[in-house]
Structure 1
Amino acid sequence: MADARSIILHEYPTSPFAEKVRLTLKLKNLAYSRVEIPVIMPRPDLMPLTGGYRRTPVMQIGADVYCDTAIILRELEARFATVSLRTPGHEGLGQMVAGWADSRWFQSSVAIIFGERADTVPEAFKKDREALSGRPFDTEGMKRVAPMMRDQWRARLMLIEERLQAGKGAGAGIYLIGAKPGFVDVHAYMNVWFMMNTVPEFANECLENAPLTRAWYDRLTETEGQEPETITSAEALAIGKAAAPRLVSATTKSEPQGFSPGDPVAVAPDDYGQVWVEGELVHADAQRIILQRTSPEAETIHVHFPRAGFLVRRV
């Protein structure tokens, strides 16, 4: 049964960003619990934990809540390093690949997928994603550009094939950096998984010309891990409320804006889903910012964000 020591993943099955975390948990063979959240708002039991942050997934361990895959994967590696997904000599490369996979490649995936589904996308989903992105969710526009985006998507896939081919020549070629999977693989995998699970005929057509990528994808997909326990959102909220946040040094080392512990600040993504989460600054460094929040529903919670890709301002 889940408790304050458990990894709790708030996600839904079709989320490609949640798939990054699910794959990481499998590769590390970690036990975890999951809360299946709605694909669209509202999420009344999750908002007290995140302070309003609404992108998927969110990870919770007791009264510590981690928003965005970047900080989730960093925390999983820090806490559970026995099976490491870092690639020595290539530090930082995983997050660089994530910047590419999560933006330009993901945008072409979205255009193809929703261009294919233009006539069947529910209006409620469109309105929800418009609120998330701050711009129209134009399925007809996606349908028009889908042929060009297919070209873009295929070109990006073939970069993986080139990388694996080069590694093969060096005696590896099983994964993107050497003979063991790492975070570079996790980030690159996301869009292939997303397309295989939504427009499989197109994905398979592309993979016919990328045999090393097909084998790489199959190896990652076949990774076996522990079967998660499913709990309710109310149970997860109760676990957070009953727990205390993990002790962390109250520091603002190398803080470029001069914030100090205790300052009221707000944090939001710098691209979409720009909901400002307010709280009292606990910790800030080059890669992480932690806010303390209190509410009747969750009592005292620490909310963790990555620094890259998030804006911070004084309240």
Structure 2
Amino acid sequence: MADARSIILHEYPTSPYAEKIRLALRLKNLAYSRVEIPVIMPRPDLMPLTGGYRRTPVMQIGADVFCDTAIILRELEARYPMPALKLPGHEGLAQMVAGWTDGRWFQSSVAVIFGEMGDKVPEAFRKDREALSGRPFDVDAMKAVAPMMRDQWRARLMLLEERLQGGQGAGAGIYLVGMKPGLVDIHAYMNVWFMHQNVPDFVAKCFETADLTKAWFERLQEFEGQTPETITSKDALEIGLNSAPRLVAATTRNEPQEFAPGENVAVAPDDYGQVWVEGELVHADSQRIILQRTSPEAETVHVHFPRAGFLVRRA
């Protein structure tokens, strides 16, 4: 049974961003528990832990809550360094690649998928995604651009093929950087997995001229890892309630906005799902910011965010 030491992943099966973390957990062969959250809001047991952050996935370890795949991957690598995913050649590059995979490539994936199946999407899902993105969920517009987005999607896939062709020596065509899978592979895998789940015939067609990428994708799919335990959202909330956050030095260093520990600040993504989470600043550096929050449901939690891709302001 999950406890304060367990990795708890709040996710749903069809989330491509959650699949990033599931792949990382498989590659590291880590035991974890999962909470299957609803695809759309509300998520009443998760909000006291995150302070309102609504993107998927969220990772919880006791009373420490990690929002966004970037900080989740960083924390997994810090706590469980073996086997390593931050391999030589992946340092820094992985997050640069993530900016591309999570941005322009993901946008083309969404346009292709919902241009294909948007008519089947329930109205509640459309309204939820409009609230998340701040834009209309316009199925007709996605249908209109879908042929062009298929071109864009294939062009991006073929960049992986070029990278695999350019591998050095005996490692050519194995993984994107060397002969072992790492963070760059995890980020690049996401869109291929997402499309393969939803429009497999199109992906198969693209693979006809991308043999190395097809083999790379299939190789990553073969990692099995450990079968997670499923717990309820109330179980996870109770674990947070009965845990204490991990001790961390209350420090800031070279902050451009001159934040100091103890200040009340607010954090939100800089692109979509822009819900501002407020709390007392505990720690901030160039890659992470930690807020302390209290609530009757969860008592005291530390909520962790990455810096790149997130805005911070005084509350």
User: TM tier, shorter chain?
Assistant: over 0.9
Aligned to 1:103: 103
1:193 Cα deviation from its structure 2 partner: 0.2
Normalised by the size of structure 2, how large is the TM-score? Answer: 0.99
Letter in 2 for 1:159: L
Deviation at 1:62, TM superposition (A): 0.1
**Counterpart position of 2:253:** 253
> What is the CA distance between 1:118 and its match in structure 2?
2.1
Amino acid aligned to 1:244:
A
Is the 1:168–1:174 contact (alpha carbons within 8 Å) kept by the matching residues of 2? Answer: no
**Which amino acid letter does the alignment assign opposite residue 287 of structure 1?**
Q
Gaps of at least 5 residues in structure 2 are none
Name the structure 2 match of 1:19: 19
- Structure-1 separation of matches of 2:132 and 2:34: 23
**Distance in 2, Cα, partners of 1:189 & 1:171:** 18
**Sequence identity of aligned pairs in percent?**
80
Please say if 1:62 is aligned against 2:62. yes
Supply the distance in 2 between the matched residues of 1:296 and 1:277 (Cα, whole angstroms): 17
- C-alpha RMSD over aligned residues: 0.8
Which blocks of at least 5 consecutive residues in structure 1 are unaligned? none
- TM-score, structure 1 length as denominator? 0.99
1:57-96 equivalences in 2 (<5 Å): 57-96=57-96
Shift of 1:169: 5.4
In the TM superposition, 1:30-45 aligns within 5 A as: 30-45=30-45
Deviations 1:4-63 (A, max 9, x none): 000000000000000000000000000000000000000000000000000000000000
How far did residue 299 of structure 1 move?
Answer: 0.2
Tell me the residue number matched to 1:49: 49
User: How far, CA to CA, are the matches of 1:194 and 1:82 in structure 2?
Assistant: 27
| Cα pair 2:90 2:183 within 8 Å, conserved | no
The residue that corresponds to 1:216 in the other structure is 216
Whole-angstrom CA distance in 1 between matches of 2:89 and 2:253 = 26
State whether residues 9 and 60 of structure 1, in contact with CA within 8 Å, keep that contact through their aligned partners in structure 2.
yes
Rounded to whole Å, the distance in 2 between the matches of 1:47 and 1:86 is: 31
Partner Cα separation in structure 1 for residue 172 and residue 84 of structure 2: 18
Given the alignment of the two structures, is residue 199 of structure 1 paired with residue 199 of structure 2, yes or no? yes
The residue number in structure 2 matching 1:126 is 126
Paired amino acid for 2:79: R
- Counterpart Cα distance in 2 of 1:213 and 1:169: 17
- Map residues 145-164 of structure 1 onto 2, 5 A cutoff: 145-164=145-164
Tell me how far 1:171 sits from its aligned partner: 4.2
Specify the alignment match of 1:282 in structure 2.
282
- Shift of the 125–31 alpha-carbon distance from structure 1 to 2, 3 Å rule, reads same
Which residue of structure 1 aligns with residue 178 of structure 2?
178
Shift of 1:86: 1.1
* 1:294 corresponds to 2:311: no
For residue 301 of structure 2, give the secondary structure of its aligned residue in structure 1: strand
The Cα shift of 1:255 comes to 1.3
In structure 2, the partner of 1:312 is: 312
Deviation at 1:119, TM superposition (A): 1.3
Give 3-state SS (helix, strand or coil) of 1:119's partner: helix
